[in-house]
Structure 1
Amino acid sequence: MTSSTAALEISEGERGHLPDGRLWEMSSGGYRCQSNGDKYFQIDYIPGRDFARFTLSLSDTSPTELDLWCDWLFALNPALQNVDITEADIVISRISRTEFYQRAELWYCGNNAGKFPLQWVENKLGVRHPLRAEPPKGEVYRRYFHSLGMEFSLRHLDPQEDLERFTDWMNQERVAKFWEEEGDVEKQRQFIDSVIQDPHKHPLIACFDDEPFAYFEVYWALEDRIAPYYDCQPFDRGAHMLVGDARFLGKKFATAWFNGVSHFMYLDDTRTETLVGEPRADNRAVLKYINGTFGWKKIKEFDFPHKRAALVMCKKGEFFQNMGGV
């Protein structure tokens, strides 16, 4: 298996620390890592391999600490798929990349996570679909990206707090070219209200280190305009995206936020097996980042009434095999 994200370049003898200050040092055959106080443990790993081994004393290591080290190691080494936890040369447990990143409690702070009961309803357009949970207010996702040394978070759009910022973003030339929603504050207020009142959409503000930089309009595909153009399933999810703060354009940021918002959509409902998108076919910047990233692929081009679109798609299994690496 190959990953779409390159490993962080680290050489023998290099040192660093986790976000909580715990130290690590690369040595021949792996990493020497700080546990509690002056205690250290060994991670045996050869870069490029798909397995690693933590040699530690569980009595000196809390579950939270172990999670931090696993996230760091998976992010550092995209090829890594499984970590064996050993104590006194006995394998105690195995942690897989796929299972680790599906542990919603580590990053997800919404109100659903697949627990909303299945109930079929019909909307005003006659589309039969599962009843959707009302999107929660406030923060719904937070994750540290080691490649940036920054935290990425998603929160519900606040119509009062975010209106001026949202208006500025929508009126930037590069945004207006693809969204075609430029206009004054009152027009943007109406746009925001329409999204909030639409039960199949969840408007989100994305932040790096709590600084807003982008808008993501997450939607349920079955009730969306994209549904007739492919074999849509009840819990398929998609998102419309815009980066409003130009400081956060570019590959290194796009790789992180695209990974983050995709991760959120899978964690927000465990029944979601496929993510989809329909950017304009001539939006080369978006397609450059999407195609081949964490399991995403361009499937085809097709014609909406208002644009020529590219259908992009991501399957859950492929995504979590390539998850991390950032």
Structure 2
Amino acid sequence: MLDTQTIQIQKTGNSRLSSVDFNNLDFGAVFSDHMLVIDYANGEWQTPTILPFGNFSLSPANPALHYGQAIFEGLKAYKNEQGEISVFRPLANLERLNTSAERLCMPTLPEELYMHGLSELLRLDADWIPSAAGSALYIRPFMFGTGEFLGVRPATEYRFAIITCPVNAYYSSPLRVKVEEKYVRAVEGGFGFSKAAGNYAGSLLPAQKALEAGYHQLLWTDGKTHEYFEESGTMNLMFVINDTLITPALSTSILAGITRDSILQLAKDHGISVEERKVSVAEVMAEVQQGTLQEAFGCGTAAVISQIVTIGYQGQDFDLPPVSERKYSPLLAQTLDDIRTGKKPDTHHWMVQI
């Protein structure tokens, strides 16, 4: 049986830390010195290894390259004013990773193995965790099929790994978004609820078209009728109407965001009315045109809370209230940040200290 407390560690002899400008970080472009790798073979997880960040060697017949058995997660580590390291809701991310794994016929990862490997990796690369306001260490766990075969069937071998990178804000300015009425991100009964690589590959073309038209992202609508909102680009979507925080209800075509769940809980803590339900495009656009849509924003691990200031719909742009006039989303964003950085009590026990 695998000893989940045993980790083989090979430290880098050439740290890149001193060459990094932490004040000017392109999101996801600068990687920390080490990575965690755990292989799955013969029906069980093998001994975890921490290695210097570097390339993998793969067969051209790697099944993930051909049939898409690849999933990932995203979470963040923070330093508080005392220099202590903590991770935001890592077990929620593991739960979602395992949900994605089950949907794609991949092995699930034991909690003890995941947490011990993650903790040792963060301790080793602790100096890579930035402490400036709005910054964090982004953590990317991922898993993909390995081996060497061509054939549409689940792989028998897998690789799980974690890489990390110091980051600043994902979006540096409020967003202009476009309601997508042609392309589809996911449909009911598919695997839109999982963080599978294929979900993101299919979004690239419509997102590129939106960018060329002057928008930062899309507002995805349902795959059958395009009548209901689902997500916003790489984020969950929220509106404030009549002082009520409204978000599309989860389904098999909507990702269950950890940040989404956290914001809904914080809203309830602040006494804000919350509704999780179907949100129609017609309803929201009517509120926009009447000037009664108070706020709209996307939320996710990378973006946290990103304000939406313009919605493009059927060839026309509609401006929303200025960010400076918004009441609820700034409050929720600040509360979440204060919990993550230790400035406010963590009453929901979301922060796991390393």
User: Structure 1-normalised TM-score?
Assistant: 0.29
Relative contact order (alpha carbons < 8 A, sep ≥ 6): 1 or 2 greater? 2
User: Structure 2-normalised TM-score?
Assistant: 0.27
